[in-house]
Structure 1
Amino acid sequence: MRKWIDIPPVWLLGALCLAWAQAQYLSLGLGFGTTWGRFLGGLLVGGGLVLILLAASEMRRQRTTILPRQQAARLVQSGIFSRTRNPIYLGDTLILAGMILYWGAVLSLPLVPIFLWVIEKRFVLPEEDHLRRKFRADYARYSLKVRRWV
């Protein structure tokens, strides 16, 4: 059961719930400006969703798993993965930042780097270690060519 709870979407949902609660109950009159905050927030959320869909589509096309902690069948280097090694996690981070802007949750801005740190420690580094061991030279070349985030 723990492996199904300890997945990135659950961490994202938890951070989103904290940001929403902060915006609803502890806003202290702070905000980003309704129009601009909602516009920029919407752009970030949309961009995050596009990244996730592009990555999921490419992983499906390559017939490898999208689930963390499962054995990758292939090292995906094409599509969005030629620009960033972690487009899904980057998309999650953009969604969080976008919703914080959309809700005007100013005090929740520190959740963005905290979320990114948690995702990197719990998922990115172990996944990279697995890929490094399984794909050796291919992964070494890929990691030199494509940055972890952007």
Structure 2
Amino acid sequence: MGGVLERLDLPPVWLAGFAAIGWVAGRLWPLALPGGGWLGVALVVVGLVLMFVAAAQMVARHTTFVPRRDPSALVTSGVYALSRNPIYLADALVLAGLLIHWHALWAAPLVPAFMVVIARRFIRDEEARIAAHFGDAWHAYAARTRRWL
């Protein structure tokens, strides 16, 4: 059973879980933002585009974007010059957009809670792994580029 749970411990699964909670909140206690339908869709689209661009940059550098795998390159340009974790930032934008679109403003604290979970379950280990592989280059990059934005 532990093997199945380990394979399910992935950021998209966490995103889906937080989104499901937000969807339920929007159904049970709707609180809409005027114009929120369009704003929510726009945030989801921006998040998906950011996610695609960030993943494409990693693929172009022949390194992995899969959590808990060893990187073969340190990507620091493009969207990675703005954020050390643009895919996780994209996930947070998608979640925020869904909550707004689903009239689940009461569930807005789910976004920072999701970010804390992702930082603790994935980012800390990833940063340690990257630091072990790239040393001074990683530390210089981390000093000039914020974790989220």
- Using the size of structure 1 for normalisation, the TM-score is 0.93
Aligned to 1:144: 143
Query: What secondary structure is seen at the aligned counterpart in 2 of 1:116?
Result: helix
After superposition, what is the alpha-carbon deviation per residue over 1:47-74, rounded to whole angstroms, capped at 9, x for unaligned? 1111101111000000011100011111
Q: What corresponds to 1:3 in structure 2?
A: 6
- The CA deviation at 1:16 is 0.7
CA distance in 2, matches of 1:118, 1:64: 24
How far is 1:133 from its partner?
Answer: 1.4
1:1-150 alignment to 2 at 5 Å?
1-24=4-27, 26-27=28-29, 29-33=30-34, 36-150=35-149
Greater displacement, 140-149 / 10-19: 140-149
Following TM superposition, by how much is the alpha carbon of 1:4 offset from its aligned partner in structure 2, in angstroms? 1.8
Runs of 4+ with deviation above 4 angstroms = none
Shift of 1:3: 2.8
Amino acid at match of 1:9: P
Instruction: Give unpaired runs (5+ residues) of structure 2.
Output: none
User: Secondary structure at 1:149's aligned position in 2?
Assistant: coil
The alpha carbon displacement at 1:132 in A equals 1.0
Q: Say what the alpha-carbon RMSD is for the aligned residues.
A: 1.0
In the alignment, residue 129 of structure 2 is paired with which amino acid? H
**Cα separation, 1, equivalents of 2:51 and 2:91:** 8
The offset of 1:30, in angstroms, is 2.6
How many pairs were matched up? 146
| Deviating more after overlay: 4-13 vs 39-48 | 39-48
Gaps of 5+ in 1: none
